[in-house]
Structure 1
Amino acid sequence: MKRYFAVLLGVLTAIGGFVDIGDLVTDAQVGARFGWSLTWVILVGIGGICVFAEMAGRIAAVSHRATFDLVRERLGPRVGMLNLVGSILVTLLTFIAEIGGVALALQLVGSVSHVLIVPFVAVAVWLVLWRAKFSSIENVLGLMGLALLVFAVALWQLGPDWNEVVHQLKPTSNPGGESWQTYAYFGVALFGAAMTPYEVFFFSSGGVEERWTRKDLGVMRANVFIGFPLGGLIALAIVGCAAAVYLPQGIAVETLGQVGLPVAVGVGKIGLAIVVVGFFAATFGAACETGLSVGYSLAQYYGFQWGKFVRPKEAARFHAIVLLATVLAAGVLVTGVDPIMVTEVSVVFSAIALPLTYLPILVIANDPDYLGEHRNGPVANALGLVYLVIVVIASVAAIPLMIATSTGQG
């Protein structure tokens, strides 16, 4: 029974981890501008995060070491440093966006500017990361994240023309009449949001935190292959709600409130209250994950004690890094920078960093010295190579598309 409960909690955590501020905003923007025509990108992204998260989780369960710990050892300090720099920059940018997302979610229930809320959010995130148990963070926020399922209910209540939905599912439909450059830009952004690098680093480090062993491989795979697709279904529901409400009116999504408004249209005020809870859980949970991931990456690369499985004083440098990252994130946001803009930039730069994240995982997952009989088989390698080609294409295309479309504006 304990093992089944662990699967359930892992599934809930995966749902919350998949749908963060980047997914919330990008999914709604895509639905409002392109309808269902970019659904294929979400499906490809779900497959990709499942393939590499399974590898990262397997590495943690078999070697009892996190991914970054092995990248430096297996690939050397230079490659490890390149991987570290790319990961830290993207994860820190995402951390800033997530803290801003929590402030925006709280702003929805009051009239206080999100800038004034940011310091309190930062303090709350740091206190949770410093004092709360790892299992409490993932389980409580994972359960609260289920509130986002209200998007699926709202989509059903909105009653879209399902024949039209099927027509829009064709990648070539582009019902919003946008340019194909803009279509490609949002495709890359959507893919980057689905495969944000911190997800696999957090998943791997979390496996070490929870002391996974070979006996837990089944639990780990259930977390991956049930949890992430369920998170993807929520993402599709967000796309569908935005497509049903905003696409016919030609309205673009620019705020977090607009992301949740279709739920109010479909379900009413109760639905809106539920979705605000979901926004808070998803963004606060992702803020905790990204904050921890900053500390994980640096600590694992330089080889000092890390994690919440030890007392804070035994991992003082790890917690100091998390504190400094939190202060930096709050400092950026209190200048008045728009969290939505930070989010839009973060998902594109996530796409740029994808090869630095996933190539080392593929290499280590094939190393018999670390994984023995549990190293990648032919199917895992084939899927890994296919997705590696995709992430390289997305990485190379991201900056030119960002410039050509003025960050999706033209």
Structure 2
Amino acid sequence: MISKLKQLSFGPATLVAAAFIGPGTVVTASLAGANFGYALLWALVFSVLATMILQEMAARLGVVTQQGLGEAIRSQLENPLLKWFAIALVIAAVVIGNSVYQGGNLTGASLGMAGLLGEQAAWMPLVLGVLAAALLWRGSYRLLERVLIALVLVMSLAFITTFLIAQPDWSEFFQGLFMPSLPTGSLLTVIALIGTTVVPYNLFLHAASSAQKWQSPEQLPQARGDLLVSIPLGGLISIAIVSTAAAAFFGRAVTLEGAADLSESLRPLAGDGATWLMAIGLFAAGLSSSLTAPLASAYALSGILGYGGNLRSWPFRLTWLAIIAIGVVIASLGIRPVNVIWFAQVANGLLLPIMALFLVWACNHKMMGNYRNSWQQNTLAAVVVLIAVGLGLRSIGAALQWW
């Protein structure tokens, strides 16, 4: 028992939690709570379980093969058409998508900083972009891991404390957590909650970072212990944000358009302390995602183009530099990010099944040796993929009907 407890620690899975708890999650979770109360908390429970199933495969792939998902696809996918399709998909879904996300990440961090300093300034996205670039330029995985662990812990303290201050309705909270329901008009919100948690680019990030952290299949227990700590903690943060918004907004004559509105509207309900905590949490969420989005893009693109995962190589650095630069420009233009982030999260949910199928294929390949997926793991992965496909098709139908 003691040896198993020692295997529970923070590691690459913390990067995954830091990646999916960004401003997009804060916005999506806040809107879910404000519009539907506690009714959609079950979607986050499913999201956490689905994330753990997929991220375990990603971590195992990295530890066993010492490759990222992009490298595995490039080296083992023999059909040229499929290989080019995979490359195009990675560029479209991960690199281009993360460029847009980065603008939202820097905007979210700037909103959090403005909440702490008392005023919004045009220079904030640039300063935060330079800070992210400086940390990534060091090319030290250990440094990035430590910084992101610290940011995840800050987010946990800020959002969970705010949740407790807001005094949720505990009976409705547990009902929403364990009794699935789909209120009228909530389908796209469910898709968005799943899309903001089970993020496709995290599959690339986790596999590559696990390969750097651990060099032997005998270390798989540590990788799984890391997963058991970090992913549920990230899910708990999302649940806290939904519940805080539900307590503050649901059933009240208040309109919520973004995370900054949530922070300000908490003041009469829970006092200045909750407002400050929300600002701190939003800043940490934005900064952590401002690091992980460029990092994941660089891992994915460098891997699938055959440049490897050396954090100090020029192809790697140029990729994340481009992502940060585009993000700074988007954030500095003052575009309201709420709608962009919202629809990007929905698109993430639709792209997830394709990326997950690549991962399942890789984990059943002969390169995994004795560590290939068992039938139980394939069954769980198939369930996750099928549910994701079903939700994606329903969201397309709803969007077409609305159009």
TM-score (ref. length: structure 1): 0.87
CA displacement at 1:13 relative to structure 2: 4.5
Is the contact between residue 31 and residue 256 of structure 2 (CA under 8 Å) also seen in structure 1? Answer: yes
CA displacement at 1:137 relative to structure 2: 1.8
Matched with 2:329 is 331
Matched with 1:79 is 85
Q: Distance in 2 between matches of 1:113 and 1:192?
A: 29
CA displacement at 1:266 relative to structure 2: 6.6
Q: Distance in 2 between matches of 1:405 and 1:101?
A: 29
Bigger Cα displacement from structure 2, 133-142 vs 352-361: 133-142
Q: 1:356 to 1:88 in 2, by over 3 A?
A: farther
Q: 1:262 to 1:237 in 2, by over 3 A?
A: farther
Q: Distance in 1 between matches of 2:174 and 2:316?
A: 49
1:391 aligns with 2:399: no
Structure 2: 5+ residue stretches without partners = none
Is the contact between residue 34 and residue 247 of structure 1 (CA under 8 Å) also seen in structure 2? Answer: yes
Q: 1:231 to 1:355 in 2, by over 3 A?
A: same
CA displacement at 1:277 relative to structure 2: 2.6
Q: Structure 1, residues 337-369: CA drift from partner, whole Å, max 9, x if none? A: 2122321122111112112211100001111x2
Matched with 2:339 is 341
- Which residue identity does 1:106 align to in structure 2? M
Q: Distance in 1 between matches of 2:307 and 2:255?
A: 46
- Within the candidate set 153, 169, 192, 1:146 is matched to 153
- Which residue identity does 1:303 align to in structure 2? G
Is the contact between residue 36 and residue 250 of structure 2 (CA under 8 Å) also seen in structure 1? Answer: yes
- Which residue identity does 1:145 align to in structure 2? V
Q: Distance in 2 between matches of 1:50 and 1:263?
A: 32
Structure 1: 5+ residue stretches without partners = 175-179
Matched with 1:177 is none
1:134 aligns with 2:141: yes
Q: 1:304 to 1:340 in 2, by over 3 A?
A: same
Q: Structure 1, residues 166-196: CA drift from partner, whole Å, max 9, x if none? A: 455544474xxxxx2x310111111101111
CA displacement at 1:19 relative to structure 2: 1.6
- Which residue identity does 1:390 align to in structure 2? I
CA displacement at 1:240 relative to structure 2: 0.9
Is the contact between residue 151 and residue 263 of structure 1 (CA under 8 Å) also seen in structure 2? Answer: no
Alignment of 1:213-292 (within 5 A): 213-261=216-264, 268-292=271-295
TM-score (ref. length: structure 2): 0.89
Q: Distance in 2 between matches of 1:173 and 1:81?
A: 36
Is the contact between residue 61 and residue 363 of structure 2 (CA under 8 Å) also seen in structure 1? Answer: yes
Q: Distance in 1 between matches of 2:109 and 2:372?
A: 39
1:41 aligns with 2:43: yes
- How many residues are treated as equivalent by the alignment? 393
Matched with 2:371 is 374
- Which residue identity does 1:357 align to in structure 2? M
CA displacement at 1:232 relative to structure 2: 0.7
Is the contact between residue 16 and residue 202 of structure 2 (CA under 8 Å) also seen in structure 1? Answer: no
Q: Structure 1, residues 8-33: CA drift from partner, whole Å, max 9, x if none? A: 35565454334222211111110111
Q: Distance in 1 between matches of 2:36 and 2:128?
A: 33
CA displacement at 1:93 relative to structure 2: 2.5
CA displacement at 1:387 relative to structure 2: 0.8
Q: Distance in 2 between matches of 1:262 and 1:54?
A: 39
Q: Distance in 1 between matches of 2:234 and 2:221?
A: 19
SS at match of 1:303: coil
